[in-house]
Amino acid sequence: MKRLAITVLRDKKKNEEGSCCGESAGLAVHAEAKQGSCCPPAKKGLQAPVTGPVSEGIGTVPKVSTELTGMDYWGMVRCRFGAFRTHYTVPPGLYAVGEPTRGSDVFVSANYKMSFDVLRRELKGLNAWMLVLDTKGVNVWCAAGKGTFGSGELIKRISEAKLDTVVDHRRIIVPQLGAVGVSAGEVKKNTGFTVSFGPVRAADISAYIRAGYKKTREMSTIRFSLVDRLVLTPMEINPVMKKYPWFAVAVLLFFGLEPSGILFRQAWYGSLPFLLLGLVSIVSGAFLTPLLLPFIPFRSFAMKGLVVGTLVMAICVPFAGAPLQDSVLLLAASWLFFPALSSYIALQFTGAATFTGMSGVKKELKIGLPIYIGIVCVSIVLMILFKIREWGLA
């Protein structure tokens, strides 16, 4: 996996004296200064926004900009489509914002670059430290559920950053969305640092500090607005659409298969309604269900997707035409398969939503997967029976 390159700007004096890079970060962070530079050459790709070094007697801490560039925003857009987000990381470790001192606050974040960028942007005008955990390129919310944004990793980073020699106080601020993975008591016991859980949204950090590090109810409320859900839908649509061609090929082959061979005209004629219903199911499960999430009955994401998929089917089937409407077997198979497909796709959104937790996801999968498998099997049997009748074998 490629790692985003980080370029540290060093003046002539620093180049002459030399610097040492943190082993995992590729930056002068934790090790003692040595003669000559040990920084590896920068790799090709986007660069993290390092603007200069800050010396704290433990090595050199990279200082980052609070201004996002066009490339940063483009990276955010790319993260909404495809697997680029799995490579969109910054090295874990200690970073500086502004001109931090030994009394400056320490904010904890994930090494998913979008999380990193959002935090540094909201720290504009402040002098602070950023302690970045290695979450394997996963955002705070999801990493906390998976355990990578957790007590063990936080304790490790505090120790490796020698944070007790960087600041005089013993407090760190962890985002509230990471609370599920962090035990404040365990961190206190092992490091001496007190964990304060900050606001849900990084945009509220300045207000949180002005309020004496106290959160209002608004700061503690997890909002998952229409816009929040909308920007996440490409992450659900894109993976499914990558698999759609395989579905299309299977459907075309099925309807084109005749005792005399594969007839392309028959393939297009028979498969068109199913290809369209497949696309409709993707839209209903990956777009409409997330968009209408709070308004659809049932707590279960699978049931929500099933409701939307069934309603969409009811609207589309009357316009599907032959051969779907000419065969009870095909109609039955469609009513079974496509609402279930919408349900399954909607279930995947649990990983991006704040409406459920890890236990809820596991419970839904445990119940849902056998049902989905059963529906697929029954649908295939109905399709085979249709083909047998079409060939006049029964």
Q: From the centroid of its chain, how far is CA 26?
A: 25
Tell me which residue of 195, 201, 198 sits closest to 215, measured CA to CA.
198
User: What would the mean pLDDT of 29-48 be, rounded to a whole number?
Assistant: 32
Q: What is the number of H-type helices and E-type strands within the chain?
A: 15, 11
Contacts of residue 358, Cβ cutoff 8 Å, sequence gap at least 6: 145
Query: How many angstroms separate the CA atoms of 27 and 24, rounded?
Result: 8
Query: How many angstroms separate the CA atoms of 242 and 368, rounded?
Result: 23
pLDDT > 80? residue 49: no
Q: How confident is the model at residue 148 (pLDDT cuts 50, 70, 90)?
A: confident
Q: Which helix (H) or strand (E) holds 135?
A: none
The tens digit of pLDDT for each residue in 157-187 reads: 999 999 999 999 999 999 998 888 999 999 9
Does 295 or 22 have the greater pLDDT score?
295
Query: How many angstroms separate the CA atoms of 135 and 132, rounded?
Result: 9
Of 1.10.3720.10, 3.50.50.60, 3.40.50.11600, 3.40.50.970, the CATH number of 50-220 is 3.40.50.11600
pLDDT > 70? residue 53: no
Residue position matching structure tokens 């969109």: 88
The percent of residues above 70 in pLDDT, for the chain, comes to 81
Q: How confident is the model at residue 12 (pLDDT cuts 50, 70, 90)?
A: very low
Q: Where are the domains of the chain?
A: 50-220, 226-390
65 with 26: CB under 8 angstroms?
Answer: no
Query: How many angstroms separate the CA atoms of 312 and 57, rounded?
Result: 64
Q: Which helix (H) or strand (E) holds 160?
A: helix 151-160
User: What would the mean pLDDT of 130-138 be, rounded to a whole number?
Assistant: 91
User: What would the mean pLDDT of 90-113 be, rounded to a whole number?
Assistant: 92
β-bridge partners, 108: 131
Does 88 or 1 have the greater pLDDT score?
88
Q: How confident is the model at residue 45 (pLDDT cuts 50, 70, 90)?
A: very low
The tens digit of pLDDT for each residue in 92-103 reads: 999 999 999 999
Query: How many angstroms separate the CA atoms of 292 and 300, rounded?
Result: 14
Give pLDDT, residue 14.
35
Output DSSP code: residue 53: E
**Range in 288-292, 360-364, 386-390 the model is least confident about:** 360-364
Q: How confident is the model at residue 55 (pLDDT cuts 50, 70, 90)?
A: low
The CA-to-CA distance between both ends of the chain, in Å, stands at 55
State the alpha helices, DSSP H only, in 211-357.
217-220, 226-256, 264-283, 289-291, 301-316, 328-347
Q: How confident is the model at residue 153 (pLDDT cuts 50, 70, 90)?
A: very high
Query: How many angstroms separate the CA atoms of 350 and 357, rounded?
Result: 8
The per-residue pLDDT of the chain, averaged, comes to 80
The sign one gets for the Cα dihedral 390, 317, 254, 372 is: negative
Between vectors from CA 37 to CA 34 and to CA 41, what angle results, nearest 5°?
150
Q: Which two tokens stand for residue 366?
A: 């445990």
Q: Which two tokens stand for residue 58?
A: 């433990």
Give pLDDT, residue 260.
79
88 with 116: CB under 8 angstroms?
Answer: no
The tens digit of pLDDT for each residue in 302-311 reads: 999 999 999 9
Pairing of strands 261-262, 128-133: unpaired
Tell me which residue of 217, 136, 137, 122 sits closest to 176, measured CA to CA.
217
The tens digit of pLDDT for each residue in 339-360 reads: 999 999 998 887 666 555 556 6
User: What would the mean pLDDT of 67-91 be, rounded to a whole number?
Assistant: 78
Tell me which residue of 243, 245, 263, 244 sits closest to 255, measured CA to CA.
263
pLDDT > 70? residue 78: yes
Residue position matching structure tokens 């699978």: 302
Q: How confident is the model at residue 259 (pLDDT cuts 50, 70, 90)?
A: confident
What 3-state class would DSSP assign to 351? helix
